[in-house]
Structures are given as structure tokens and as C-alpha cells.
Structure 1
């Protein structure tokens, strides 16, 4: 049994945002199978501070600094005819390390996490290749373009990423995505003659950590409530749009009728997000050391996303904390839970207002929905259940080569 080379576009430690959570658990599952060599990028000093933790799992590692200015990546993308996403994650030092690692170790499997890292896959490698795209990123950029967000730039990015995704699907032994709907979407975008194995490989949640019965700090909220919470990376455009939508179009009626408070919790809030903190009963918390007290003290958690790809970790975490979650259909994608039993899907702003009012007024039993939600994720979407699938992806039937 040979070694595994794992390439990820973000440092898998600490697992404090959606993609890092997924790569964190993926590397832990791979390390159960054999020696893992990890090439990745650090974006912050916090990432760098976890290099020692990475070394306890990895047989060897190379952590490149991702400090290339976006303008430079854009210029390189135009000159090379590649997407900005690929140019932003191209690093000569990491490329050299990959070549040296393959030469020095008996690596029979390469696992690529996120399409940006496919550029490091050598044409000459004839072992098993697993590519975890997570989401169909090209579709996301196309949606941005259709919404008029930097239309020309995002249309170009979507077109080039679509070509890259097709190449990666053809190059790999198996390509995984975060949900069956994402897998179906990729299949529908491949040329008819493309021969590729596409599978859904779901996300999980750490139900031991996200546990309402755990010994948690007291509620961070000064007001008695009702308190409504949104969590997420707050420089991510769909999250920004979601909280702006909720603060301007949903919250005012809940404030007038119930004195509701809206709490935006998550790292790196943009200026637009910080400005929401000037609105009545809106608090922008920014980064917090532990999300659980905020979730545990929430009367409801909302995910009013208009653009969402894959499985939303924020939703799984709130469900694990036994909170009633009110979300859009987009945010519910990839979570095989039942509307009305495990969470509450609101089709538009008016429906979100009505659903939240029903919760706050007791016409919907938030406690029962939260308890059902916790039981569902514990049974169906724990990381331990997901780990069992990794061995089959990497080494099916105990065989290790492309010829298998």
C-alpha cells in the first residue's frame, strides 16, 4: 500500500469555515488509510499557527503563503488564458514540492481538494486520482454574472472553470461533489462523449462538539429575545447578500411585532455587513472563539441564501445544536431532511416572516423541530459516517492503481 498526496487550496486547520471543515475531516480520514503528504496554502497567521498540528497528521507537508494580489492574479489569468481562480492559486514553490514529493515517495494516490488545485496534477502520474470539487464552481460564477455582479468577469470565469471541471472529471478516476444535486449538475454539463465517474460525497457535522447538552459558556445576548442568528464567513458574497436581505426585508416586521434582535456572527465582516449594525436591533459580532453559545441561545437560526452551492455547514451546525432553522430552498439543497419536521423552508421573504412569526408566537413548536433536527444529523450526517466512504473512494476493492 503506497502513500497518498493530498492537495488542498486552503490549510485544513483550523476547521473554522465550510471548505476547511470538509478538508480537515477528509485529511483525517485519509490518514487512517496510510501516510499522507499535504500541499496547501496559508492565508492568515492563524493558518500558520496550525502548521504544527498539520505535521502531527501529515507524513510531510508544504504550506505556501497565499499572498498574491488579486490584480496580479487577474493579469496572469488574462495573459495565460486561464481562470482567475487558477492563477490565484498557482505557486512555483508548491509546484516544485509536488514534483519532489512524487519523486521521493511511493505515492499511488493523489487526492485533489477543490478545482483550483488540479493544475498541480502531473500528466505523467498513472496512479489513482480522486478529485473532490465540492461544488460546481462554474455554475456559481455564472449565477453571479446573471445577477449582474461584475457580469463580464464572472461570465469569463464561469466559462473557463466549466472547461477545467470537464478536464478534471475526465482526468480523474472518480470526481466527488458535496451532494447528489451537485453531482447531477456536473454530469449535465459534461460533453456527451465524456467518460467520467461522478459521485456524491456528503458533508458531515461533529455532533459531539455541536451538542446542546455540552458545558457551554452562558448566553452572549444581553437582551431576553427573541434572538435570531445567522452564522458564516462574512466576506463571502452570498452570505453578505443573505444578511442584507434579512436585515432590510424580513427583520423590520419582526422587530415591530416582537422586538426581535438579529445577530450576524462570523469572521471578516465587510464594510457593508458592518453598516447593518447601525440598523435597529442588528448586532454584528464578527469573529467569535466559539459559535456554539450563539447557536444555543438562539430562538431561531436563519439561512436566507439566494445563491448556495452544496451543503451549508452553518445549517448542519445549527441543526446539531437542536435549533429550529428557517432557510431558503437554496440553503436546504443537499440536506435530505424533511421540511416541517427537521427544518422550515421559506420560499420568499413573506414566507420567512410568516414562518418566524409562527415560531415566535408558538404556533410552530421550535423545540420539537430542533430536537428532530439534532436526531437527523446525528443519525445521517455525522463525520464518522462520512469517514467510512473515504476508503472506497481512494482504494476500492483494496486496489491502488488507475488500472484497478
Structure 2
């Protein structure tokens, strides 16, 4: 079986949730098929794909990505049916590269990552040999954008976000119409789409974590007391608006009270590309902003807890899964853990308010038995459901079934 894997970005370095999902799903598919990986370059990163990461794939093709969210693109995002975040990734160069690829070889299946690549769906549908198309949604992007719009105080930005959400719904409907199978990350998303009347088969392929990468981390025996490591961490790409919103809200509204209650506690904000608003938080007592780092694992190792105070967003949370794999307790809002099979007080602690976070941190620092129980339950959950080999084991079967099936009318 020959499969094309088409996505918005290169997967190296493996430093974001989206890159991790792209790489691990493509690698799992490569166990069943010859996979050609086609993507855009990640900004100005001109580094070649590391040979060890490229090894599973027949080819890795990388195209330069045009500037994002230019004034022209933003205007087109209001005047056309396509939203700006689809226009961003719809280029003549990518279309030509795909046509050239189709002239060189035929594919049995094509996996398209997220709605942002929906501008190529008709081209893919018309490819020689009529390959079956499996679309993978990391999130229901229209839902995320609508949630984002609800939180924006600026009327002009709120209007633009609302219009973008509406256009994303059009793009999602068009992409579904031209797909044979849809993959989503949670049963909540599947049920929502079924309720909307989506008629093509929908499979749940959860987000995951490479648990083996966290197996050799040394674990401090006093993690529950926090005596040697009095810090909590937030881990996430800081060029993602939901993470920026979560951190700004948490540090502004909750952190002063938490630090006053526990003055020896620090907060480490760990993630690439922090904007000036996040960098400025380092001037506040107890707040450390790391910026881009080569390896997040030492930060998990030293933390009392990993916090996920998200107010907007969707999908499932790769960083919670990383924390579980690293045997680090998690404190999250309900939305932050949305889509995961994790339960409050069994796998993690749910906190919505400042007092909730203080209570949860205090419990982890003073109740060693509870801390250990949460660590063990979270780790067991990851190993049984969310380890990438477990998540991806059915992907080859989905592609094989699609290859041998007839296209639905």
C-alpha cells in the first residue's frame, strides 16, 4: 500500500503537540504502507529532516511556507468563503508539487491533517487512481475559533474571529464532503459531528505520547513534599493563543494569591516562542519563563505538578499525557482535560478557581499517599490507552479498509 501524508508543517523538531501527532501517526502508518510525507516548512527553519526521524518514510517533501496572516490574507478571509487560516496554507507551489507527485506515482490512500489543508481536497479527489482520502482533525477548528471569539473583549477582533468560525464551518463541511473517512481525537468530538449529521465513517484516534521517552527520568522521592523542588510548571507552545490566554489569566488573577499562600513556590512557564506579554511575566515574583528548550523532561522531573488552566481550546491534551508519562501530577481545569479518559481525584485534580488550585497544590505537597496514587493512575492510563503504539495500531487497518472500499455516494 502506498500512502500520502499531507500536513501543514514539518515534524522536526518534535516540539509541539501538532508535530508530535503528525509524526507518530505517520510513523505508525509507515508500518503498514510506503508513506510519502508532504508538508510546509516551519517558518524560517531550513534544517533538513534528521535521518533517524526520516527513516520510516519513503520520501519527505518540504515546501516553503508563505508569510502568514498578511493584510491581504486577512481581507480575503472576510471577502471570500475560505477563512484566512485555510488561505494561509493554500498555495500554487503546493498544488504544483502535488500534481507532480501524482504524475510520478499513484497512491492508494491519502491522509490529510486538519481543515487548514482543505484547499487541496478537490485536487486530491481527482488524483489518478482515485485514492481514498482519510481526513484527520486534531480539533474541530470552528469550535475552537467560536470559543476564542467568546473571550475576546475587542469588538473588531471578536467580529473577525466569529466570521472566521463561520467560514471554518463551511470549510469543514466541504472537507467532509470530499473525504471517505474522518478521524477525530475523542468521543465527544465524534458525537458532536454525528449530531450535526456527518454521514461518513468517523474513527477515534486519540492523541498520544511516546511513553518510552519518559521511562528513564529520575523521580525525586520527595516529590509529594516539594521540599527540594518547590515549583509547578505550565508546558505548552507559547505561540498558541489558548496557551497565552491561559497563562496570562492564571498569572494575573490566581498566581499572586497562590504565591502569598505558598511563598516558597515558583511557577515555570515552559514553551517555545513566548510573546512579549508572556516574557513580561518573568518580572513577577516567583515566575520563570524559559522560552524554547531542547528537552522538557527535566522540568517535569522537578515539578510538584503540571498545571493546565485552559479556558479556551479543544481536542485532547498532549501535555497532560506527557505529564502522566513523566509521573508528574496534573492540576487542570475541566476544559483543559476535555476529551481525555481521566477522572478527577483518580488520575488528576480538577481546579476551576484560585482557591481550587491552592487546595490542589496543598494536597499534593502534604498528602504523599494521594500524590503517589495520582501518579500511578495517570501513568497506567497512558500506558494502556495513550501510548503511540497503542493509539496507532488500528491506523493501518483503517487505511486498508478504505483502500478496498467503494466511495460512498
Q: Do both proteins adopt the same fold according to a TM-score greater than 0.5, normalized to the shorter chain?
A: yes
- In 2, Cα distance between the equivalents of 1:242 and 1:325? 15
- Aligned to 1:15, what secondary structure does the other structure show? coil
Aligned position for 2:374: 369
Contact 1:7–1:40 (CA under 8 A) maintained in structure 2: yes
Aligned position for 1:208: 212
Aligned position for 1:254: 258
Query: Comparing 328-337 with 98-107, which one deviates more in the overlay?
Result: 98-107
Size of the aligned set, in residue pairs, is: 396
Query: Comparing 320-329 with 249-258, which one deviates more in the overlay?
Result: 249-258
- In 2, Cα distance between the equivalents of 1:400 and 1:37? 22
Contact 1:227–1:298 (CA under 8 A) maintained in structure 2: yes
**TM-score normalised to structure 2 length:** 0.90
Q: Which of 170, 182, 189 lines up with 2:177 in the alignment?
A: 170
Task: After superposition, give the CA deviation of every residue in 1:288-313 in whole Å (9 maximum; x if it has no partner).
Answer: 11100000100111000011211111
Aligned position for 1:303: 308
Cα distance 1:227–1:95, how it changes in 2: closer, same or farther (>3 A)? Answer: same
- Aligned to 2:244, what secondary structure does the other structure show? helix
Aligned Cα root-mean-square deviation (Å): 2.5
1:37-56 equivalence runs, <5 A? 37-46=36-45, 48-50=47-49, 55-56=54-55
Q: Which of 145, 156, 164 lines up with 1:157 in the alignment?
A: 164
Residue 271 in structure 1 maps to residue 270 in structure 2:
no
1:3-402 equivalence runs, <5 A? 3-46=2-45, 48-50=47-49, 55-71=54-70, 72-121=72-121, 122=123, 123-125=125-127, 126-148=130-152, 150-188=157-195, 190=196, 192=197, 194-211=198-215, 213=217, 224-259=228-263, 260-362=265-367, 365-396=370-401, 399=404, 402=407
- Aligned to 1:167, what secondary structure does the other structure show? helix
- In 2, Cα distance between the equivalents of 1:347 and 1:48? 41
Q: Which residues of structure 1 form unaligned runs of 5+?
A: none
Q: CA deviation at 1:380?
A: 1.7
Task: After superposition, give the CA deviation of every residue in 1:322-373 in whole Å (9 maximum; x if it has no partner).
Answer: 1110000001111102211111111333212222122223387222211221
Contact 1:169–1:197 (CA under 8 A) maintained in structure 2: no
Contact 1:232–1:314 (CA under 8 A) maintained in structure 2: yes
- Aligned to 2:283, what secondary structure does the other structure show? coil
- In 2, Cα distance between the equivalents of 1:361 and 1:335? 27
Q: CA deviation at 1:53?
A: 5.5
* Structure 1 runs (4+) greater than 6 angstroms displaced: none
- Aligned to 1:204, what secondary structure does the other structure show? coil
